[in-house]
Structure 1
């Protein structure tokens, strides 16, 4: 059999444990190039985030890539990290190293899928293989065709909840060597001047997984999940799940072990329930493709919203007439993270109180959130804007009441300075004339 040189394109699977695509590559080639291409300089659509991701997102990604590189080094491998676009660097490597096989994990993003199709088109003589690693179930395991994905989460949940989940694969202990000599990494962005809430990388993700289930927090999760600040009110797995430093199947495997040893209750079920929400949005993104970014979403009519630059900037900086929203946005800008409850409140404010085009809010979150996931982010924004998978239409929250329920003493608002804002929403009218005060 001829000497086989393979290339593995890392994207949202920055780990060695439960990585079926990488395991397949390791089994089929004699030499393997492992590469990660940073985001392109131009956004894939006019409304998606600009190339300059927040310092928090960049730092978490850099930590994750460095952790993966160190893990690969222990197996005699290396991770090539490049700022060159996929469609530029991989053709060069194909020519230089006579690559015969290219592997990657499936990705829910439309842009990532289009890039993969454009990559394989000129190379009919190369074997291209994509393997799912970002979901609990493969598409082949679903009790329906992807084209028949239920139009609501509840219908989806009832169909998939009885399904068995495959056991996660063990971490790889050997890999074929790389034919590429050691390469220097692109210049790294200086870290923000803060102590991060999360440290990126597979080792930190697995350590958090072990730490969480060694505590008893999972047994009270349903009672605490609507908290706004701190580390213990929710599971906090999302940053590592988002870039694949942690496998969702490994997470469920640990959850089941906890239920067997400590006990199952409504709270442990609710962790799985919310992972099924994540699952639904992954397949939702695969099903609807480019429509995930359409103003009208998966509906036929567009929302009655527009774009007001001044309102948008006030929302981004936490300077709206709504203290709970301001506190959440300042928390996001300071840390790169916001609670699930907070995300619902700021999105509701964005669409309903400020009358803004939901896609700009989704794009801002893409830029800021360290746990940004294309499917969950854009799917949830569609849901709140009434153009997604929600049979009840718009989801509007009473922001005053929400503050009273989830921040009754006002400590969260005070801590983040949410009560410091410009009381006037607009300084100009629709014709850009100054508004007298």
Structure 2
């Protein structure tokens, strides 16, 4: 029996974590590790940080919670900082590790890092085994191969719902054998090159990182308030904590898995009844899957100006003045401004808001959609590479939208979704 390393990334949980479960089953001892990858804290070619203060703070909270939960089971979390392909091999040598278990990646930069780590481990005769832990449906269970996945969501959804099954989630381990893991040592925001941020009191929800908080939020939204039963009617709301599930930040960091949520939805339906709303939450999880599988299929195309289409309709220009007005909430539109001010002050924005500000950026301001996506990457507390870039490409008309061009009438949207000006009054005062 050997020692294995579990490389935690955006799967910061004990429930339904296949990499962790496999490592425990096949090893005598395991060493759980998280690496602060230097590249995640760099400035992108678009001039924005890859990780902003809100998400970094959420990450630190999530790691603190993961360490506490691991210690209850006899383990702990080892923290390193630098390049994973440099830092992980050092631990492999120190602990005489024969195998590394990690979450499988699909996006370009993440896959490149995974490959570099694998190459360095190979030199040490250490194997890297990856598990698919981020989706509701497992890629192997889809009714089509990755290259044949339909590019239109409705076609993907109908066939997947009809012909694929959702696997049972993995049980949380009951004990973990590890060598002595030193006390948790997290870098400060300052050490990551970021300033401390405080979420505005007006925020729809005060996000706090960690699996414990994710499960607490689920219990609140499902069982304490039964908000799940009216999710479909309220999901386009813009003010308050409970108009939508707000699971996105915990899902993005992997503090909770889609399969775990699905299991709880099924339990809830048994107890309180199934309806359009309980179905709709699972439907939204399927959108996450769709974008992730699209990244597997199209790879780097989602980062190109022309996206997955061959022709591009809007301008490739960048106007610094317009970009500044948009990002600071100083445009001609009060509805856009309210949303952008909320994002800047909280790291969050409703789904309805995101669609509007992206449409405004691409269609009214006529700028390169990737700059908007990169700004979101820095700001969002719930940034997920596939959902963010997939949705932006969709709104820019170069993604998976079956319609030719999706252009939001902002005034009509403001009137439909903020009729009483409640949202705008909250953020523009």
TM-score by length of structure 2 reads 0.92
| 8 Å contact from structure 1 (residues 9, 103) kept in 2 | yes
**TM-aligned CA deviation for residue 411 of structure 1:** 2.0
Q: How many residues align?
A: 415
Closer, same or farther: CA 222–200 of 1 in aligned 2, 3 Å? same
SS in 1 for 2:345: helix
Q: Which residue of structure 1 lines up, in the alignment, with residue 283 of structure 2? A: 273
Among 317, 337, 359, the residue aligned to 2:328:
317
Closer, same or farther: CA 341–183 of 1 in aligned 2, 3 Å? closer
Q: Which residue of structure 1 lines up, in the alignment, with residue 45 of structure 2? A: 46
**Residue deviations 1:265-304 (CA, integer Å, cap 9, x gap):** 1111111111111110111112121112111111112343
SS in 2 for 1:121: helix
Closer, same or farther: CA 183–343 of 1 in aligned 2, 3 Å? closer
Question: More displaced, 176-185 or 146-155?
Answer: 176-185
Closer, same or farther: CA 90–48 of 1 in aligned 2, 3 Å? farther
CA distance in 1, matches of 2:288, 2:114: 23
**TM-aligned CA deviation for residue 80 of structure 1:** 1.8
**TM-aligned CA deviation for residue 372 of structure 1:** 0.7
CA distance in 2, matches of 1:210, 1:128: 36
SS in 1 for 2:94: helix
CA distance in 2, matches of 1:338, 1:123: 40
Matched, 1:203 2:218: no
CA distance in 2, matches of 1:77, 1:100: 19
Question: More displaced, 276-285 or 41-50?
Answer: 41-50
CA distance in 2, matches of 1:303, 1:176: 57
Show the 5 A alignment for 1:72-221.
72-124=70-122, 125-162=125-162, 163-178=164-179, 181-182=182-183, 184-189=185-190, 191-194=196-199, 197-214=206-223, 215-221=225-231
| 8 Å contact from structure 1 (residues 221, 270) kept in 2 | yes
CA distance in 2, matches of 1:360, 1:257: 42
TM-score by length of structure 1 reads 0.91
Show the 5 A alignment for 1:328-367.
328-367=339-378
**TM-aligned CA deviation for residue 119 of structure 1:** 1.4
**TM-aligned CA deviation for residue 101 of structure 1:** 0.2
Q: Which residue of structure 2 lines up, in the alignment, with residue 226 of structure 1? A: 236
Among 67, 88, 112, the residue aligned to 1:69:
67
Q: Which residue of structure 2 lines up, in the alignment, with residue 413 of structure 1? A: 424
**Residue deviations 1:208-265 (CA, integer Å, cap 9, x gap):** 1112111221111111111112111111111111110011101011111111211111
Question: More displaced, 181-190 or 391-400?
Answer: 181-190
Larger radius of gyration: 1
| 8 Å contact from structure 2 (residues 60, 186) kept in 1 | no
| 8 Å contact from structure 2 (residues 211, 256) kept in 1 | yes
Show the 5 A alignment for 1:6-21.
6-21=4-19
**TM-aligned CA deviation for residue 184 of structure 1:** 2.9
Q: Which residue of structure 2 lines up, in the alignment, with residue 292 of structure 1? A: 302
SS in 2 for 1:416: helix
Matched, 1:381 2:386: no
Question: More displaced, 302-311 or 365-374?
Answer: 302-311
| 8 Å contact from structure 1 (residues 324, 403) kept in 2 | yes
| 8 Å contact from structure 1 (residues 32, 179) kept in 2 | no
**TM-aligned CA deviation for residue 177 of structure 1:** 0.5
CA distance in 2, matches of 1:370, 1:165: 28
**Residue deviations 1:86-137 (CA, integer Å, cap 9, x gap):** 0120122223222210110123322111111111124432221001110112
Q: Which residue of structure 1 lines up, in the alignment, with residue 411 of structure 2? A: 400
Question: More displaced, 124-133 or 358-367?
Answer: 124-133
Question: More displaced, 372-381 or 285-294?
Answer: 285-294
| 8 Å contact from structure 2 (residues 89, 121) kept in 1 | no
SS in 2 for 1:246: coil
| 8 Å contact from structure 2 (residues 67, 184) kept in 1 | no
| 8 Å contact from structure 2 (residues 78, 182) kept in 1 | no
Question: More displaced, 283-292 or 18-27?
Answer: 283-292
SS in 2 for 1:116: helix
Structure 1, unmatched stretches of 5+, are 419-437
Closer, same or farther: CA 302–211 of 1 in aligned 2, 3 Å? same
| 8 Å contact from structure 1 (residues 37, 83) kept in 2 | yes
Matched, 1:25 2:23: yes
